[in-house]
Amino acid sequence: MIRHGFIDIQQNGYIGVHFSSMDLTLDKVRKVTRYLVKAGTTAYCPTVVTGPMDMFRRNLPILAAAMRDKELKPHLLGIHMEGPFISPVEGARGAHPPEYIIKPDVDTFKRFQEWAEGNVVLLTLAPEVEGAMALIRYASENGTVVSFGHHLADDDIMKEAVQAGARLCTHLGNGMPNMINRHQNPLWWQLACDDLDGIFITDGHHLPADFIKVALRAKTIKRFIVVSDATEVGGLKPGIYHFQYHEVVLAPNGRIGFKDTPYLAGSSATMLECMNFLASLNLLSEADLWKVGYDNPLRLLGRRLGHQPSGAPTVVFKNNQFVLA
């Protein structure tokens, strides 16, 4: 099976460019997109995370303009908003700055969509926060896929959210406190729910191999989606960087963590690297690897890709790994 790359629906930035930075420009979006296409990501969702309202007002129109751009349009599937409607509780909010987290609100989301020219196709929120159910219903009814993420919802709330239209779990297995009740926690219900797809960061740092194996059995090939969750320090040299209001350390092995803590701060991996780590676990055939890294995210968004522009690399599977040709 030969294709031109993978689909990434959670891409925060790369090579020094952050889609939630106040210095984002159309040329920087172009820089990231060209790099990713050459690295084996044929299309992606630029992901904007929790930040000041001025950032959304400024950056969403830039990303909307990128989606009208002749060169970039084939590679941009729509905007993923991860926040700001998430849990403010430490441990659940992850790297998101608490001062910019706000309660879910339909009118605020409408404003975001106006700035984005209707291009917000994926919204990650916390379903237990006041106002979430109304927003889930509105967004789902108007073409945006709603996902659970950075939340502490109980089973009843998650069930209600699925009935309201939620369809996905963002970076399942991450974005939650390290210490949880062994039975009463958000993880098991999300894994068990057959009405929810799950997106998983298979970079070799976010999830251990045994969890990935269990998640594949729970979600099956049909509902398992690989993402990179890559950040702006991806593609840079190992070192200490200021990222998302914190200092982070990019280690030689690619792991990104908050300085002087054991906590992860996103990924430095490309989709090719995530797919090769997954392939190394010998859990999936080549055909099934393409499903979780290409077919499933497009199905979730209701999208199909047209012809690939000339010059894009071909991705082939040889000796149990994907390589660029």
Residue 74 · residue 107 · CB < 8 Å: no
Long-range contacts of 14-19 (CB under 8 A, 24+ apart): 14/230, 14/231, 14/232, 14/234, 14/235, 14/270, 15/232, 15/234, 15/235, 15/236, 16/232, 16/233, 16/235, 16/236, 17/232, 18/231, 18/232, 18/243, 18/244, 19/46, 19/47, 19/48, 19/59, 19/63
Instruction: Assess contact for 46 and 62: CB atoms under 8 A.
Output: no
Q: Which of 155, 229, 260, 288 is catalytic?
A: 229
**Per-residue buried b or exposed e for 1-17, using 16+ beta carbons within 10 Å of the residue's own CB:** eebbbbbbbbbbbbbeb
What residues have CB less than 8 Å from 76, skipping those under 6 apart? 33, 43, 44, 45, 46, 63, 66, 67
Share in percent of the chain as helix, strand, coil (round to 5): 35, 20, 45
Exposed, middle or buried, 262 (CB in 10 Å: 0-12/13-18/19+)?
A: exposed
The yes-or-no answer on residue 229 being catalytic is: yes
Residues designated catalytic: 229
